[in-house]
Chain A
């Protein structure tokens, strides 16, 4: 039986706690903001690596973004992925979910014979969670989102997925190939393997694809292929609050607070 062919979709995001918005220009302040691998994508990669611990598998990282993603995502190679494809081209820039999922789907088709596509639950910056279902649709594959665990019967080509639902979980069964999004924080991403480090950060060859390298319709990529338009930005309204500071010993503070909350907490 051939090795299980896994693609993990990953991206790089600005560190959420360092993001500031300039209220004058309403633009993101990029200076001094560090980047990191989108944390939910690390859970997706860990799920792939855990599968590889149990059965023969090959893991490819697939990303779409500017060249600076490359050194950052090499961490995935050091953790245990074999290959890394970066779709990087100015023509891809400005993509909304429709154009992003189209482009990534073309990348997956180019990699070829993929059994399992894993994604993070959502991106830390967009937080829409729409990429996994969009990818599945372009590729005409079944999908399961919010997976916390999975088992694969490669002979029967069946995956059983444990999926988080409101107030509990369910086990869903789908056939390979399939797209699965991994519930954020459902596992603990492993540390990088120090033996892999020199290869991962220096020797490993990263495949960079421009729009000419993949079979894309130029009308479907980047800004051109994105139906959604940002028509305005404004500062969120902040409701005026009393901002009354209660002072004294803890006993006195609580007494004052209780007085003000009279009738509200019943």
Chain B
């Protein structure tokens, strides 16, 4: 068997969360993980630590405490100003060797996955990717990670009890961040990171970032599938009326009708809106995963046997092209009467 860099018996009862910086803030998934981590740590009597990497970022530690961290382990170095997976792996490795956490969690973002994939190999440990829930078995000190398997309605429970740290990347949007408490205090642990230019192996030549969309925060989600024949313009019109966001199943995304960041479901975004309206979607399980936590689900599909109706509160068996304009018209009329 492959032995990890340190054995479970040498590990501290600490749970680490990678604090990913996104623009001027922490990535929302990092705050979500602090909330879940806080909950798991409290139950088990463990310590929750945030791992903070960057250049001149020490002042962000307070924010991490306010969201639940007991400690922030800081790797501050001029060469960590930009995310470079090799540089970040190097620094994280040094922190982990000092802190020997039992559990290390990262958001399943592009950078989080890149870093986790490399580190798990360097640490010779198991990595459970894209998890949708976490349980900490206090008696054994084992992290049990839930993943939705094979596009079907099966949940697999995964663990790597014999290896350290137990690593998982977690799907954004599955946990809810705590309300920040500015009075919460924590302890800063500074790591003297040894890094040289040659450890940084990629260089950003250009970057173009527009205003990204975050479907996980949308109160109303309007989704379209194959059945709308690419008519996302009408969905956008409807979304604008109800202050919602437009999402889609995979086929219209693959066909280029809509941006990939709007793909909902297992290989896309998992959302928890108040209302999800689904037009022309048959309801394969890998899509349902993305909306099943909605308070109210509405499905419009011309096929009465479409599986989506098993997951809907209000079911409409009709051509979406007949319902959509009618709904837009009705909502417009309602708006006008409110403003009149």
Give residues in A with beta carbon < 8 Å to B: 16-17, 19-21, 23, 26, 28, 96-98, 101-102, 122, 125-134, 136-138, 142-146, 160, 164-175, 184-185, 219-220, 224-236, 238-239, 241-246, 250-251, 253-255, 257-258, 260-261, 264-266
B130, B212, B266, B293: the one within 8 Å of A167 (CB): B212
CA–CA, A243 and B309, complex, Å: 7
Residues of chain B lying within 8 A (CB to CB) of residue A132: 117
Please state if A265 and B220 are interface contacts (CB–CB under 8 Å).
yes
List chain B residues, Cβ under 8 A from A236.
Answer: 148, 153-155, 285, 289
Can you add 8 more A-B contacts, CB < 8 Å, to A19-B151, A21-B150, A98-B120?
A130-B116, A136-B118, A167-B212, A173-B203, A241-B297, A250-B322, A258-B330, A264-B275
A102 CA to B89 CA in the complex, in Å?
Answer: 18
Interface residues of B (CB under 8 A from A): 1-2, 4, 22, 85-86, 89, 109-110, 113-122, 124-130, 144, 148-163, 201-213, 220, 242-244, 253-254, 256, 260-261, 266-267, 274-275, 284-286, 289, 292-293, 296-298, 309-318, 322-323, 326-327, 330-331, 334
Contacts of A102 in B (CB 8 A): 121
A155 to chain B, nearest CB (A): 18
Is the beta-carbon distance between B2 and A138 smaller than 8 angstroms? no
Q: Which residues from A are CB-within-8-Å of B206?
A: 170-171
In the complex, are the beta carbons of A243 and B275 less than 8 A apart? no
**Contact in complex: B318, A167 (CB < 8 Å):** no
Q: A232: which B residues are within 8 A, CB to CB?
A: 144, 156-157
Provide the residues of chain A in CB contact with B316, threshold 8 Å: 245-246, 253, 257
A19: contacting residue among B119, B150, B293, CB under 8 A? B150
Query: Could you say which of A23, A225, A235 contacts B2, with CB atoms under 8 Å apart?
Result: A225
The CA of A175 and the CA of B201, in the complex, are separated in Å by: 8
B contact residues around A144 at 8 Å (CB)? 202
Contact in complex: B117, A137 (CB < 8 Å): yes
Known contacts A166-B209, A253-B323: A245-B202 contact under CB 8 Å: no
Report if A235-B318 is in contact (Cβ < 8 Å); known contacts: A129-B129, A146-B110.
no
- What are 5 A-to-B residue pairs whose CB atoms are below 8 Å? A143-B114, A167-B213, A235-B154, A244-B313, A245-B309
A228 touches B310 (CB 8 A): no
Q: Which residues of A have CB within 8 Å of B115? A: 133
* A101 close to B327 (CB less than 8 A): no
Inter-chain contacts of B163 with A (CB < 8 A): 227
B333 nearest in chain A by CB position? A258
The main secondary structure of chain A at its interface with chain B is mixed
- Given A166-B212, A232-B157, answer yes or no on A239-B113 (Cβ-Cβ < 8 Å): no
CB distance from B110 to the nearest CB of A (A): 6
Which residues in B have their C-beta under 8 angstroms from that of A133? 85, 113-118, 121
A166 touches B261 (CB 8 A): yes
Closest 5 CB pairs of A and B: A167-B212, A133-B117, A227-B126, A128-B129, A232-B157
Contact B154 A26 (CB under 8 A): yes
Q: Report B335 CB to chain A, min CB distance, Å.
A: 9
By a CB distance below 8 angstroms, the chain B residues around A260 are 314
Q: Are A185's CB and B260's CB within 8 A?
A: yes
Chain B, Cβ-Cβ closest to A260:
B314
What are the residues of chain B within 8 A of A238 when measuring CB–CB? 153, 292, 310-311
Q: Which residues of A contact B118 (CB under 8 A)?
A: 133-134, 136-137, 143
Contact of A244 among B144, B293, B314 (CB under 8 A): B314
A19 and B2 CA atoms in complex are apart in Å by 33
Residues in B with CB closer than 8 Å to A243 are 309-310, 312-313, 315
B247 CB → nearest A CB, Å: 16
* CB–CB B296/A250 < 8 A: no
Instruction: With both chains docked as a complex, state the minimum distance between the C-beta of B285 and any C-beta of chain A, in angstroms.
Output: 8
Q: Say yes or no: B158 contacts A230, CB within 8 Å.
A: yes
A257-B298 CB under 8 A given contacts A127-B267, A130-B117, A242-B314: yes
Cα(A26)–Cα(B152), bound, Å? 10
CB <8 Å contact, B1 and A225? yes
Q: Quick one: given A98-B120, A231-B144, are A185 and B253 in contact (CB under 8 Å)? A: yes
Q: Are A241 and B310 in contact (CB under 8 A)?
A: yes
B11 CB → nearest A CB, Å = 14
A244 & B85 in contact (Cβ 8 Å cutoff): no
Nearest CB in chain A to that of B200: its residue: A142
Q: In the docked arrangement, what's the CA distance between A227 and B162, Å?
A: 7
Contact (Cβ within 8 A) B121 A138: yes
How many angstroms between the C-alpha atoms of A147 and B79 in the bound complex?
A: 24
Contact across chains for B205 and A171 when beta carbons are under 8 A apart:
yes
Which one of B203, B254, B330 lies within 8 Å of A255 (CB-CB)? B330
Identify B313's interface contact among A138, A174, A235, A241, CB under 8 A.
Answer: A241
Contacts of B220 in A (CB 8 A): 264-265
Are A233 and B149 closer than 8 Å at their CB atoms?
A: yes
Residue of A nearest to B275 (CB): A264
- A184 neighbours in B (Cβ, 8 Å): 254
